[in-house]
Each structure stands twice: as structure tokens, then as C-alpha cells.
Structure 1
Amino acid sequence: MRANHSDNRLYQTYSHDPRSKNDQKDRDTISCVNLNVEEAPGLHYLSPPSNTSTNHLHVTPRRRANTAHVYTDSNGLIINGLLFDKQLFQPPQSSYVLDYSKSTKDLNRFLEAHKTPTKSSNLDLHLFKLSFIITLSEWNVDKELLIDYCPREDDKKHIIEEINYYKKFCFPELNTKQKNGGSIVNDPSTYVFTRTSSKGQAEYGYCRRITYDNNQMTKFPVVICIVSIYPYFILFDAILSELTAVYISNEYDCSLLMQSFYSKPLPIPSLNSSNIICKLNNNRVFYYICPHDDRLNHDYFFTLLSSLSPNYIVYLFESMLRSKKILCYSRSLSKLTKCCLALSHLIYPFMWPYPFVSIMPSSWMQDLIDSPCPYIYGCLYETTELFSSIIEQDCLRVNLDSNTIDVGLDDGFILPLDLRQTLQSSLEYLIRFRLTKSNSTLINIAVSEACLHVFIELLHRLPDFFKRDPISIESTNDERKFSTCSNHSQNDDNENDPQSNDVQHDECKKKEGNRLGYDFRSDEFLILQPTSSYVTFLNDFIHGMIFLKFLDDYQRPDNNSKQLFLLFSQRLNERRRMTIDELSINPLIRFRQTFDLLEKHINQASKSTNPFFTKLVKKLFE
């Protein structure tokens, strides 16, 4: 079955529910698709959170209908009860490079005044793991030609072996079936490949292709690649822009600049250390501030919404929750990899626990595509044509260029109807921003919030039934406790005391049950769900791999876990603080209010003639 952008079958089924006339109490029958917000009665902005300093103000419903509640916070702006990172309101920058006509002395004063603090032990010593420049000697697999690399270690063999793991991602169109033919993809935008190292660590490769005529070593394009364990697309895209420009004019200067970037410590989102500075030449400096909100590090959701219609995004969203096989393809490396990464982030706070490759080398296609487990793979359009016969029928084939999805078996929807309708209607509303070429960062945040809303509504009661056991955090302690429990009946002191043995046996069962480090009372959690459709979905979902992986990581005391679930915990707490009046507002209306206000404040910030760091520079030069 083929679905295309002119087929509204999926969209229309969202508003069809034969029970709606008979059961008005069931929230599943609420339809948001044709809602006219401008004419909807009871339209009003949300009141601030209960812990704000202004909650003593009483606002009547009629007054609230004409009053927008926006509050400043030390970490950003609170709009309709939701906190947004203050960096979202900085004027958008097309480049992270500051240009100066001042003397070298003034520039050195700027660099000295803005040295990145090194007292934080969490900082990585280098900005990325490694970087290299590569091209082809001829059209063939394993005929890559290494031009330059960084770091320049004494053990040259070691770094070259490392690069061998990544070189096939630089030219994924190469394959064994076309040893002397085929075509090279001409895409000058940055694309991202993903790889899991032998230690289980996710790695990201940021690549930029250069095609030019002057002094070109071969007839094939040159690829500059930066490998990092951090998903900082905005940062590395800006660095690649600088390296590309320098490489075209002077390859030696590019090598020096690449090493200069490598020598900088990695910025982290903290108050003490959150920026990097790199001197480019006598009058230019690279300046980057690491945002607290990870969604400001990329534009993946914006690219996804620009490539697929909302009903298909919702369809893929549900397919991922079903753990389906998904194969995305496109003729554009940049579009393909960004959309694949967007899908992987779409189900936040959950992580995709199965194989994920944002761009699959053509030479790997035959070995990986017949995987028995779920996956998300991205590959070039030409690759799918070569290997179309081995693509399984139960795999969802997503054509990002034509906005179509081929599905082998349509097994319906799984999300509760009201949540599915709100999600799709929210994405439909965002199309207005995309068509007017508004701030792509705003779209990125909005798509993320629309998807996160689904999980917040499904899981806002989770803290009442989930508790992490601090005793069971360390595995060594777990093993010791379990061993003690297994042998408790052999304790001489208690062998003649049946009551004591029963108590210890119950304690041991509890400890053994908490060996994973948490206690989740799933039965009680399901009982309090608002509708039967919530229960039906959650009853299957909470026993799946995606949710079990989430429980393993959620509320762990380590810093990585806290940072990973920071946004989820924040939105969860905001939802739990909402009053009955606030909850009575249609979620689509709340969504539209919030992002209308967000757009307004971002537009006001963009009109500023003195960005934050420019003001700092002016003060230094006064």
C-alpha cells in the first residue's frame, strides 16, 4: 500500500469515532482537527505556576481571555506555565564568527577576557575526538585517500586505524555492484552519520563535501569530517563552514585551523563554563555559547516537518512506539540524516533501543537490511533501487523527497484518539510558521513540545507509582544483598524462629525484586488512567523494550541521567502543578497560545541591534 501527500485517508480517520455521540464523557471522543481557536469560547491564557511570586493576583476568566501571562525567570521566560531557555530569545545568528576592524591588540584583549574557565572537571580537554579530510582516488570501495587528519599523534598507525571506521560514511554511495560507475551526490550541506563504538558509545560524524576546480587533487569531491560523542550539530556545522572556506583558499591554513579547534575544551551547558573561543585571523574570532536546552543544538525537527506532512509524522511516531522497521531514503545527504535523527529524538524522553544508522553505506545494505529486530536506517535513494529486492515487506519505506510512505501492513493506530488528534493538529498549525519562513529554531522547539505533550499526558502520574531504590544502585551491593538473602535460612540464630524467617524471606523477595534499582507499581498506575484507551495503550507499552529502557535510566543519581531527563522532569512538574481551570483548556488552544507568544518574543529579540556577546565586546573595547 502506498500513501502519498494527496491521500488524506490517515488524516480523515483521526476525526472519525462512532462512539462520540453516545459517550461524551470519554475524552477519547474529543476532536481537535476542525477547531476554530479564534471563535472558540473560553479562550484564555494560563495562570502562572503556583510557586511564582505573582500567584496572589486574581484574574477573572473574562480578563484572562485578553491577557497574556508571560513571566521572566533567571533561566529564561515562562509562557503559559512553561519555562523556555533564555538563549532561545537571543537574536538569531547566521554565523558564530565575530568580525573586527580593530587592531590585533584589541582582539587579543577580547580573547584574554573570555578565556574558557578550566576549573570544571567535567570539561573534555578537546573539542572533538578526531577530524580528517578525505577524498577518492577512484570510484571503488576502499579506495579512499586520506589528505589530512587531527590530532597529530606520535602513534600515526593508531589514528589511521580509527579513521578507517568512519571513512565509508564519507562516501556512502560507493558499492561493490558499481565499481566503475555511479554518481557522486552533490550536497554541500552538513550531514551527520551515527556509529556505535565497540564500547557501546554513540558517536556522531559531521561531514561537509567540497567540490571545486582549482588545484583539486582528484576529480572526486573532498570531505571534511569531525567525529564527536556529542550531538552538537549547530557547533560543528559552524566549524565546518569555517574549515571549508579556509580549505578552498589554502589547505595548509585549514590544517592549522583544524588543530586549533581541536585544542579547545568542549563547552558544556553550565554557568561557569559554556563557551569556546578560537582565533581565526587578525580580525575574526569564532565564539560559541553552549545552550542549556539541547534542542537549540540542531534543526532536525524543522527539517522533518519540511519534508513530511504532519499525518505521516504522527504515523511514524506511532510506528516507533510499536517498534517497527523504518527505512528512510532521499537523494540529499543532509535531509536524510537530519530526518533520521529527528525520528530518533521524536519519542523523547524515551530512547530508540534498537539499531539506528542515520546514513547507511551502500556496501553494508545487504548485510544490515534483513535484521530480524526493529531498526531505523537511512540510505540514499540510489541504494534502495539497487537493493529493492531484499527490503522486507513489513518495513516502512519513507521517501523524504516525495513525501510518501510505503507500508506492507497497516495495523491501525495505537495512541488514544484525543492525544493523536492534538499532536497532528499542533503539527498542522506549525505549517503556518514553516511556509512563512519563520525562525527554524521556533519550529524545532514547537515540534518537540507537541510530541512531548503526548508522553506528559500519559505519564504525569508516574512519580506517584515509581520510586528508585537507593540501596540497589550499586551492582556490587546488589549481589551481596542477594547472596545474603539466598542463604538467610542457614542462619543459626534464626533457624528455630519461623516468624523471623518469614520476615526475612519477605525482605529478601523485596530486595530481589528491586535488583534493577527501582519499584514501579504498574497495576496501580493503570487503574487511575482517565479512559480505557489510555489503559489499552499503556498496558502494552510499559512492558515493551522502549519503556523498560526508560525505567532503567530514569531518576538515576548520576549527572548524565539528570541532564538527559531535565526537560521531561520540568514539563512533568509543570503539568502536575496545573489547576482544574487550567486543565479545562483545550490542549491545542494552549499550544497555539504558547507558540504565538513565543514567536512574538523571539521576533522582538531578533530586532535587537546589540546581541548579548556584542555588548560584551563593546564594553571591553570602550
Structure 2
Amino acid sequence: MRREISPALVHPFMHCVMEAPFPAPGRTITVKSFLPGSGNEVLTLCRPVDSRLEHVDFESLLQCLSVTRLLQVFASLLLERRVIFIADKLSVLSRCAHSALALLYPFTWQHTFVPVLPASMLDICCSPTPFVMGALSPSLPEVLDMPIEEVSHFEGLGDEDCILPRKLQAALQEILDNREEILEQNTRDRNGDLSTLVSEAFVWFFVELVGHYSLYMSDTGPGGTRELQRDAFRKSHPSRGVRQFLQLFMDTQMFAGFIHDRELRKGGVKGLFEMRAAEYLDSYPEPEPSGVNKFLKGLGNKMKFLQKK
């Protein structure tokens, strides 16, 4: 195709693309082009709302793990525990491990991540530091015989169901359990995408959890840098369960990295989380429905928002 179009036509098109402002996630830009035989055309280019999901396979993750088990893994990751994925196939192992970490957005896993661990390196599982690793099923007996403490594999530690704030966990459970019905409804509205549904659900979990952080960022750090007022931020949340969870979560490297990035950031492109947090703060702290109903209402509004794009 490149050889069929004259550079004299390509260069103006590329210049027009380069001159157009970089769109925010989910927004579009229009670019004019000229093609022989077609005349002038206007192309509409849309930036994905969440480009992280282009290579993430939530379907495989939900096929391999029950919703209850998935939320247990999610809770373990949030507290930066050691997690080992076991699967029969390399492809499944890699897809599930990467998809599980994608659920942490806008936070980033800060520790060791080996999606497929060779059998000759299984002793790495004895590391005392947090990790996410994957091993093939034939290696499971050897893994179970290792002196590994506090690791979440098939059995877990037993407290995974009690880690997340109860109402937010119930909301995630309800959305994931009813995903087929939700997707069927949204398919009729041309928005039946599993990745979008799962992404929005977990993003709104974090919005409900820490979406108000920007209200407690002040210019009191060294050299006038922004700094989170940690105690005020945690105590401001109206939910006791969330406050208790934040007391643990705020000590993780994930939370430290998230806040450090925001302390250094001055404006810039906003991602999906920042967009949703801004929408959340538009009504903060006005009284709203609480718990599952509030969470589902927020997700429903976001799905409708996506349908309009």
C-alpha cells in the first residue's frame, strides 16, 4: 500500500496527524486526507479508553479461576503477598498471570514477577520477599514440598475473604457473577465487551477506595513538592471497613509508588483512573447510596458513558 501512494500525498497526511492534539483516552481526532479517485476524506481516529487492555485476556482468567478465587488472589496481591499460579499450559499460565496484575491498575506491582518459572529455578519460590510467579502443573508437588511460608497458591492462607472492604468486595462479586447478563444487555447497546466490563469494575473499586486522594495532596513537601496528608486521607473515608483496609494497604510499595508518582506529577495526560476519579469527585462529598447499590450505580453510569463514544 505504501508503494502505491505517492510520498507527495503521504507527507501532508502525516503532517496533519502530527499537528493534531493528542486525544485524551476515549476521545477522537479528525484528520483530513486526499486519496486519488476518492478526493478529500475526513478520518476519525479514536484513542482507546484503556489501551492497557489490548493484550490482556480476562476471559482466560475467569475461565481458570472462580470469581471467589479470583477475588482472593486480588486481595493477596493488594497486600503484596507471595502468589504462585499453577496451570497445565504455558500460554494459559502467562495469560492469567499478566491479567491478574492488570487488575491492579492504577497501581503497579513493584516486586518480582516471573509469569513462567522454569522447573530448574523453582527454589526461587522460597524467597522471603513478595512475588508473583507461575509454574506448570508437573512442578506442583515439588512446590508444595518447599519450605514456603505465607504463599497463596491453591489453598491460600485462609483470610483472603476478609481482606477487602466487605461492601466493595460484594459489589465486585455481584458484577463478575452476573457478567454474562450484563454483557448481553450491553451487546444490544453495542458495548458488550468483557475487558471493558472487568476493567471498569476494578477501576471503580479503586475509585471508591482512594479516588479522593487528590483532596489531600498539599504543597508542603521539601522544596514545595506535593505531599499526601496520609492520616487525614485515611480517616476521611466514611466507611470503617475501607479505613481499616487502607491502614494496611497504605504500607505497601504499590501505594507508595502510586502516591510518589502523583506527588511528582503536575498536570499531564490523565488516564482512565484519573477520569473516573474526577467524575467521582464531582459529587463528593454529597450523600449518595452506599455499598453495593452505589458501586453498581457508578459502574452503570460508566458503561452508559462508554456507549456514547
Q: TM-score range by the shorter chain?
A: 0.7 to 0.9
- Compute the displacement of 1:315 (Å): 1.2
Counterpart code for 1:587: K
Conserved 8 A contact 1:416-1:534: yes
Give the secondary-structure state (helix, strand or coil) at the position aligned to 1:415. coil
Match of 2:271 among 557, 562, 566: 566
Residue 417 of structure 1 is matched in structure 2 by: 166
- Match for 1:382: what amino acid? P
Distance 1:355 1:579, change over 3 A: closer
Q: Normalized per residue, which structure has more helix?
A: 2
Percent pairwise identity: 22
Show the counterpart of 2:196: 445
2:207 maps to 1:456: yes
Contact 1:460–1:576, Cα closer than 8 Å, also in 2 = yes
Residue 254 of structure 2 corresponds to residue 536 of structure 1 = no
How far off is 1:409 after superposition? 4.1
Matching residue of 2:176: 427
Q: CA deviation at 1:396?
A: 1.4
Q: Partner of 2:254 in structure 1?
A: 546
| Aligned 8 A contact 1:393 1:408 in 2 | no
User: 2:299, 2:49 → 1: CA distance?
Assistant: 24
> Residues 326 and 396 of structure 1 are in contact (CA less than 8 Å); yes or no, is this contact kept in structure 2?
yes
**Equivalent runs, 1:60-99 vs 2, <5 Å:** none
Indicate whether 1:370 and 2:77 are aligned: no
How far does residue 113 in structure 1 lie from its aligned partner after superposition?
5.1
1-structure distance, mates of 2:66, 2:118? 27
Give SS of 2:126's match: coil
Alpha-carbon separation, structure 1, partners of 2:183 and 2:89: 20
**Match of 2:109, SS?**
coil
Q: Is the contact between residue 354 and residue 374 of structure 1 (CA under 8 Å) also seen in structure 2? A: yes
Is residue 395 from structure 1 mapped to residue 144 from structure 2 by the alignment? no
Q: Describe the shift of the 1:464–1:379 C-alpha distance in structure 2 as closer, same or farther (beyond 3 A).
A: same
Stretches of structure 1 lacking an aligned partner (at least 5 in a row): 1-103, 121-268, 274-287, 398-404, 470-509, 606-622
TM-superposed CA distance for 1:382, in Å, is 2.3
Q: CA deviation at 1:584?
A: 3.0
Name the amino acid aligned to 2:222. N
**2:110 and 2:254 in contact (8 A); partners too:** yes
Deviation of 1:374 after TM superposition, in Å, equals 1.0
CA shift digits 1:408-437 (9 cap, x unpaired): 44365122211111111111121436799x
Q: TM-score, normalised by structure 1?
A: 0.40
1:351 aligns with 2:108: yes
Letter in 1 for 2:230: S
Three-state SS of the structure 1 residue aligned to 2:238 is coil
| C-alpha distance in structure 2 between counterparts of 1:516 and 1:371, whole Å | 39
Match of 2:110, SS state, is: coil
What is the match of residue 294 of structure 2?
Answer: 587
DSSP 3-state at the match of 2:107: coil
Shift of 1:533: 1.8
CA-to-aligned-CA distance 1:29-85 (integer Å, 9 cap, x gap): xxxxxxxxxxxxxxxxxxxxxxxxxxxxxxxxxxxxxxxxxxxxxxxxxxxxxxxxx
Pick the aligned partner of 1:307 from 51, 64, 67: 64
1:381: which partner in 2? 137
> Counterpart amino acid of 2:242?
Y
Inter-CA distance 579–547: structure 2 relative to 1 (3 Å threshold): closer
Instruction: Report the AA paired with residue 108 of structure 1.
Output: E
For 1:527, the equivalent position in structure 2 comes to 235
Cα separation, partners in 2 of 1:413 and 1:552, compared to 1, 3 Å: same
Alignment of 1:145-544 (within 5 A): 291=48, 293-366=50-123, 368-390=124-146, 392-397=148-153, 405-410=154-159, 412-432=161-181, 442-467=193-218, 469=219, 514=222, 517-544=225-252
State the distance in 2 between where 1:326 and 1:516 align: 39
Q: Tell me the equivalent position of 1:109.
A: 5
CA distance in 2, matches of 1:541, 1:418: 17
Give the AA of the match of 2:199.
Answer: S
CA drift of 1:447 comes to 0.8
Structure 1 residue 520: deviation in Å? 1.3
Q: CA 1:538/1:588 → structure 2, altered by over 3 Å: closer, same or farther?
A: closer
Superposed CA offset, 1:539-588 (max 9, x none): 222122221111111253489xx45x511111110001137889338235
**Alignment match, 2:280:** 575
Give the secondary-structure state (helix, strand or coil) at the position aligned to 1:349. Answer: coil
1:152-184 CA distance string (max 9 Å, x none): xxxxxxxxxxxxxxxxxxxxxxxxxxxxxxxxx
TM-score computed with the length of structure 2 as normaliser = 0.75
Change (3 A) 1:596 1:350: closer
Which amino acid is 1:357 matched to?
Answer: V
Question: Are the counterparts in 2 of residues 331 and 380 from structure 1 also a CA contact under 8 Å?
Answer: yes
Contact 1:299–1:440 at 8 Å: present in 2 too? no
Distance (Å, rounded) in 2 between the aligned partners of 1:109 and 1:466: 52
How far is the alpha carbon of 1:459 from its aligned partner? Answer: 1.6
Q: Secondary structure of the equivalent of 1:356?
A: strand
Cα displacement string for residues 87-124 of structure 1 (whole angstroms, at most 9, x for unaligned residues): xxxxxxxxxxxxxxxxx8x971399856783896xxxx
Per the alignment, do residues 111 and 336 of structure 1 end up closer, same or farther by CA in structure 2, a change over 3 Å counting?
farther
**What secondary structure, in the 3-state scheme, does the structure 1 residue paired with 2:127 have?**
coil
CA distance in structure 2 between the aligned counterparts of 1:592 and 1:270, rounded to whole angstroms: 23
Q: Distance in 2 between matches of 1:374 and 1:334?
A: 23
Amino acid paired to 1:460: G
d(CA) in 2 for partners of 1:571 and 1:290?
17
Greater Cα radius of gyration, structure 1 or 2: 1
Q: Which AA in structure 1 matches 2:194?
A: I
